[in-house]
C-alpha cells in the first residue's frame, strides 16, 4: 500500500508543479524555469527544517515566498523576450539556479553530525516527516490538502478578473494593451504566483525525497512542468491534475519495465497531443447560445 501512497505523493507534487507552469502559460509565456523555482523552494524549505528546526508549514511557505520573489525579479527581464527567445532565456537561468545549488555548501552541526547542502554531494537528511513520526499516508494526505488549497485559490483567481487579465494577455498582447491592461503587471504577477506554487512544490519534494541534489532540477523537470498544462489544456486546472496523474502514474511508474524508453514515449505523447488536440485534452466547453452562467 505504501507504494501507492508514495506514488500519490509524487503525483501531488507534480500537480503543483504543473499548476505553477499553468499560471505562466496563461499569459502566453513558455517558461523553462519552473524547475528552478522548484529547486529554490526545495533547498530553502529543507534548510529551514533541518538546520534551524522550523516546523514544516512555515518552512514550506517561506520556501514558496522566496521562489516567488525570485520569480518576480526574473519576470521583469523576461518581459523583454518572447516566444523561443523566452524559452532559451529561462532555460539558461534554470541552469544558473541549478549550478548555484551545485556549488552551494552551507552546513551546520546537529546532533546527527553536519547537516545542510554539501555542494555536488547534494543535501541529505531532510527527515522532518520520519523524525516526527508521520506515516506515508499522513504525508500523502498533507500533500493533497496543499494541492486542494492551491487548486481552490487558483480556481478563484481564474474566475475573478485576474484570470481574465492573464488570459487576455495570453490571447493577444497588443489587443490586451489596447484595452488598458498593463502587460508588465499581468506577466510579472503570473510569474510570481507561478513561482510561489513551484517553490511550495519544491519544498514538499525535498521532504518527500529526504535527499536532494542539483541533478533533480534538470531540464527534464522543467519539461514535465510545462507538459502538464500543455497536455491537459489551459481551460481548467483539472486538465493539469489529470495530465500529472497520467504521466507520473502510468507513463513513468506503470511502464517502469520499459526503462529509459519511457522518456521517448513522454516526448511522443506531447507531440501527439499537439497534433491531435492542440488546446489540450480537456477543452473549454462552449456554452449553448442563450445559456447563462456567471
Partner 1 sequence: MLKLENLSRHFGGIRAVDQLNLEVHAGEILGLIGPNGSGKSTTVNLITGVYAPTAGSLIFKGANIAGDSANQRIERGIARTFQNIRLFNNLPVWKNIWAAQVVRESGWQGLKQRWFASASEARGKTLDLLAFGDLSHKADLLAGNLAFGEQRRLELIRAVASGADLLLLDEPAAGMNAEEIDDLNQRIRQLKNAGKTILLIEHHMELVMDVCDRIAVLNFGQKIAEGTPSEVQDDPHVQAAYLGDDSTEPA
Contacts to partner 1 by CB under 8 A: 159-162, 164-165, 167-168, 171-172, 174-183, 284, 286-287, 289-294
Task: Give the whole-angstrom CA distance, residue 34 versus residue 292.
Answer: 37
How far apart are CB 39 and partner 1 at their closest, in Å? Answer: 29
For partner 1, the closer of residues 46 and 280 by Cβ is 280
For partner 1, the closer of residues 78 and 157 by Cβ is 157
How far apart are CB 190 and partner 1 at their closest, in Å? Answer: 12
Beta bridge partners of 113: 110
For partner 1, the closer of residues 111 and 290 by Cβ is 290
**Kindly report the CA angle at 216 between 242 and 25, in degrees rounded to 5?**
45
How far apart are CB 132 and partner 1 at their closest, in Å? Answer: 37
106 close to 117: Cβ distance less than 8 angstroms:
yes
How far apart are CB 165 and partner 1 at their closest, in Å? Answer: 7
For partner 1, the closer of residues 82 and 167 by Cβ is 167
How far apart are CB 84 and partner 1 at their closest, in Å? Answer: 22
Task: Give the whole-angstrom CA distance, residue 203 versus residue 208.
Answer: 9
Q: Which set of grid coordinates corresponds to residue 173?
A: 498582447
How far apart are CB 57 and partner 1 at their closest, in Å? Answer: 25
Torsion angle, CA of 243/167/198/129, rounded to 10 degrees?
A: -60
For partner 1, the closer of residues 276 and 291 by Cβ is 291
For partner 1, the closer of residues 162 and 222 by Cβ is 162
Question: 3-state class of 105 per DSSP?
Answer: strand
Task: Give the whole-angstrom CA distance, residue 15 versus residue 21.
Answer: 10
Question: 3-state class of 182 per DSSP?
Answer: coil
Task: Give the whole-angstrom CA distance, residue 62 versus residue 241.
Answer: 25
Task: Give the whole-angstrom CA distance, residue 272 versus residue 277.
Answer: 8
195 close to 22: Cβ distance less than 8 angstroms:
no
> What are the DSSP calls for 259-292, one per residue?
TTHHHHHHHHHHHHHHHH-TT-SSPPPPPPTT--
How far apart are CB 178 and partner 1 at their closest, in Å? Answer: 6
For partner 1, the closer of residues 100 and 155 by Cβ is 155
Amino acid at each position: 500500500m505504501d507504494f501507492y501512497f508514495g506514488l500519490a505523493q509524487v503525483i501531488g507534487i507534480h500537480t503543483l508543479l504543473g499548476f505553477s507552469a499553468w499560471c505562466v502559460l496563461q499569459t502566453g509565456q513558455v517558461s523553462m524555469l519552473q524547475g528552478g523555482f522548484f529547486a529554490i523552494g526545495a533547498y530553502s524549505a529543507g534548510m529551514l527544517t533541518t538546520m534551524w528546526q522550523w516546523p514544516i508549514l512555515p518552512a514550506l511557505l517561506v520556501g514558496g515566498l522566496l521562489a516567488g520573489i525570485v520569480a518576480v525579479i526574473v519576470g521583469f527581464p523576461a518581459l523583454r523576450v518572447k516566444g523561443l527567445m523566452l524559452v532559451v532565456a529561462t532555460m539558461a537561468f534554470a541552469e544558473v539556479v541549478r549550478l548555484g545549488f551545485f556549488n552551494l555548501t552551507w552546513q551546520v552541526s546537529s546532533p546527527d553530525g553536519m547537516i545542510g547542502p554539501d555542494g555536488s554531494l547534494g543535501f541529505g537528511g531532510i527527515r522532518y516527516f520520519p523524525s516526527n513520526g508521520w506515516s506515508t499516508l499522513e504525508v500523502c494526505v498533507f500533500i493533497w490538502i496543499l494541492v486542494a488549497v492551491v487548486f481552490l485559490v487558483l480556481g478563484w483567481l481564474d474566475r475573478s478578473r485576474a484570470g481574465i487579465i492573464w488570459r487576455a494577455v495570453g490571447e493577444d498582447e497588443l489587443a490586451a494593451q489596447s484595452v488598458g491592461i498593463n502587460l508588465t503587471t499581468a506577466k510579472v504577477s503570473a510569474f510570481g504566483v507561478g513561482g510561489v506554487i513551484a517553490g511550495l512544490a519544491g519544498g514538499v519534494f525535498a521532504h518527500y525525497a529526504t535527499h536532494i541534489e542539483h541533478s533533480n532540477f534538470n531540464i527534464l523537470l522543467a519539461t514535465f512542468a510545462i507538459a502538464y498544462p500543455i497536455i491537459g489544456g489551459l481551460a481548467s486546472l483539472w486538465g493539469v491534475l489529470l495530465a500529472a496523474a497520467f504521466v507520473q502514474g502510468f507513463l513513468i511508474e506503470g511502464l517502469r519495465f520499459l526503462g529509459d524508453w519511457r522518456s521517448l514515449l513522454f516526448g511522443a505523447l506531447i507531440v501527439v497531443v499537439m497534433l491531435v488536440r492542440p488546446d489540450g485534452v480537456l477543452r473549454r466547453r462552449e456554452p449553448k447560445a442563450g445559456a447563462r452562467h456567471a
